[in-house]
Structure formats: structure tokens, C-alpha cells
Amino acid sequence: MFWPDTITKKFNVQYPVIQAPMFGVSTPRMTAAAAKAGCLGSLALADLSADQCVELIRETKKLTDQHFAANIFVHHIPEITYALREKFVKAKLYITQLAKEHHLEVNLPDLEDIKVNTYHEQVDALIQEGCKILSFTFGNLDDKTIQKLKENGVTLIGTCTSLEEALILEKSGIDIICVQGIEAGGHRGTFDAENIPMIGGLTLFSEVYQHVKVPLIYAGGIFNGRTVRAAKELGASGFQVGSMLLASEESGLQPFEKERLQSVTEKDIMLTRSFSGRYARGIRNQFIESLENSDFIMPYPYQNKLTNELRRISKTLQNTDFVSIWAGQSIHQYSNGSTEDILRNLITETESI
């Protein structure tokens, strides 16, 4: 049998294929559709409030009776210093003026208006809602939280982008590690937001596989049966799929964003901190080019909160130059079919090779 059975047995799914948690793209409907295909769905909760997490979890449970992975950000929240306040004022002024020059009227928030959430309140909500699988990114959970989750029977999936990060996750007791290669779309799972390892998926996975004993999920560049088989050959127990689902029926992207995907080329895809303050891989546009290498990028989560309104307004105007469309390096035909069909076709193709 082709498919490794470590993850299928652990999560009681038919295939060890994981729908990637893509905040802003994946939806409860996508999570449920992935489960219907016999795969593990993921519900992206990012840094939402506990109440928002509960709402999305309950919405997902109405659509599927299968287990799914809740996914959260475990980022460090920078201290608000005088220097950070000064930089925020300058960044807000610059972005407001940039938007105005492109006929976008936006009312960006002041620093005092921004509410940031820690993952601890999310964890309590997840336990209360009976979530049994938690994946996370941007760092590692603290020891007390790991213990609390394990006492409540929660399986933990951490994200690494380097061997060092993988070893930290394994040593702290994380059950499964998702190895994210540099070619993966969306945000990097790197612990240090400023210094990201630029390591390709095949090289990184081979390194991690040699040094850790917990099951590994491969993420980054999977878009057909051959890429799944390549990851299996390296020793992957699971296969995380993200960019393949960007244009699916259940995707949270709007039609004009899905249309932009169809004309994307390799030179359009880049890493940038401009929208969120953390490195993410997506489609180059006017906003990215204006902000890249400038002094108007705040650390996460402040840059992310600052640009939220700009992105919201741009979506209403169908302006691709001021929205963040995250995508990986593997350029392919982005199917607009259902998530269930896309994943089933991937499985069939993989098995037929």
C-alpha cells in the first residue's frame, strides 16, 4: 500500500493528506470538504479572539462529524516602546498617502485602537470545545500550555522551517512536526520573524528526518502525484496541500483574486513582510513593491492590523494591487472545483503512478 499509516491511524482518516490551514482562504466549508475526501481538514484560527474561535469551530462541526485540526499562531507580541509608536505613526501616514494616490480612501487605526490576542485564551476555548488536534505556527507553545493540552488528550502538530526548530519542537514533546520548505505559499512558520531560513523543502526534510523520531508532515510545493511521491520517498508520514486549493469552490478568495491566480508566473511570486510584518510568499503587486525594503513595515501583528482595512477596501473594489494573495512557488492550473474533488484527484493520480 502506498500511503503511510501513522497519521491515518492516529486521526482515523483514510489518507494522510492534510488540507493546509490558510487564514483568509480556508473556510469551515473547505475543512469539511477535506474531511469528506478522507483527508484531515484544518481550521485556520490565526490570532482570533476566543469567541471568534468558538464560533468557527461550532460552524465547522455543523458541517462535519470528523476530527479536524484547529490551527493557531503562537507568535511573540513585541513590547510597545516609544520607537515602535513613532514608527507606527510614520507607517500609517505613508500607507494612507499611498492608498490615496491610488484612489483608495482608507481610515487606518491608531496604535491604541489595535487589539492583539495571545494564544492562551484560544487554547482554553479549544479545550472547552473538545478539539483533539491542534496545529500551530510562528514558534512553539510554552511548557505549561503543552502540558495542559496533553492532559486534555490533544495531539500537537508544530511547524518548523529549520532543523534547529524541529529539535526544539521534538524536545518539548510535540507529537508531529510539519516541515515547511521555503517554496511553500503563505506565511513562513519560522520562530524568528526577522531571520528566516531559506531552505528548500527536499533538503530541509531530509535533514530533519535524519535527526528527529516523531512523524513528519511535508509542506511546500505539493501540487500533483509526483510531488506527493517525492515527499513519501523522503520519509514523509503526511502531505500538506495548500496552494492547490486556492481557487476551489470553498476558498475564501473572491473571484477577481482567483482570476489573478490563473495568469501568475514564477517571477510574480515572492517573499514579503509588507502586509503583515512577517515573511509570507505571495503574488507581487504595487503595495508590496512600494513597501518592500522601506522603513514603513511594523513587526507582526501590528503591521497586519494596520493594513487590514486597506485590504478590506481593496477587496470591495476588486483591486489586486492592494490585497495579499498568498501562493507557493509551484505554478500550476488552479482548479475551481470542489476541495473534495481536487483532493480525490490528487489521491487517484498519486496511486496511479
- CATH at 4: 3.20.20.70
Residues 7 and 99 occupy one common structural domain: no
Domain membership of residue 187 (yes or no) is yes
Residues 230 and 189 occupy one common structural domain: yes
Domain membership of residue 94 (yes or no) is yes
Residues 192 and 286 occupy one common structural domain: no
Residues 144 and 204 occupy one common structural domain: yes
Residues 109 and 138 occupy one common structural domain: no
pTM given for the model: 0.97
Give the pLDDT of residue 330: 93
Domain membership of residue 70 (yes or no) is yes
Pairing of strands 238-241, 216-219: parallel
Give the pLDDT of residue 293: 86
pLDDT tens-place values along the chain, 353 residues long: 799 999 999 999 999 999 999 999 999 999 999 999 999 999 999 999 999 999 999 999 999 999 999 999 999 999 999 999 999 999 999 999 999 999 999 999 999 999 998 999 999 999 999 999 999 999 999 999 999 999 999 999 999 999 999 999 999 999 999 999 999 999 999 999 988 999 999 999 999 999 999 999 999 999 999 999 999 999 999 999 999 999 999 999 999 999 999 999 999 999 999 999 999 999 999 999 999 989 999 999 999 999 999 999 999 999 999 999 999 999 988 999 999 999 999 999 999 99
Helix orientation angle between 339-352 and 28-36, rounded to the nearest 10 degrees: 40
Residues 204 and 287 occupy one common structural domain: no
Residues 91 and 40 occupy one common structural domain: no
Residues 127 and 210 occupy one common structural domain: yes
Give the pLDDT of residue 194: 85
Q: How many domains does the chain have?
A: 2
Give the pLDDT of residue 249: 98
Domain membership of residue 87 (yes or no) is yes
Domain membership of residue 153 (yes or no) is yes
Residues 56 and 179 occupy one common structural domain: yes
Which residues are paired to 69 by β-bridges?
A: 42
Residues 240 and 95 occupy one common structural domain: no
Residues 288 and 147 occupy one common structural domain: no
Domain membership of residue 123 (yes or no) is yes
Domain membership of residue 258 (yes or no) is no
Give the pLDDT of residue 64: 98
Domain carrying residue 137: 1-77+116-253+333-353
Domain membership of residue 305 (yes or no) is yes
Residues 38 and 157 occupy one common structural domain: yes
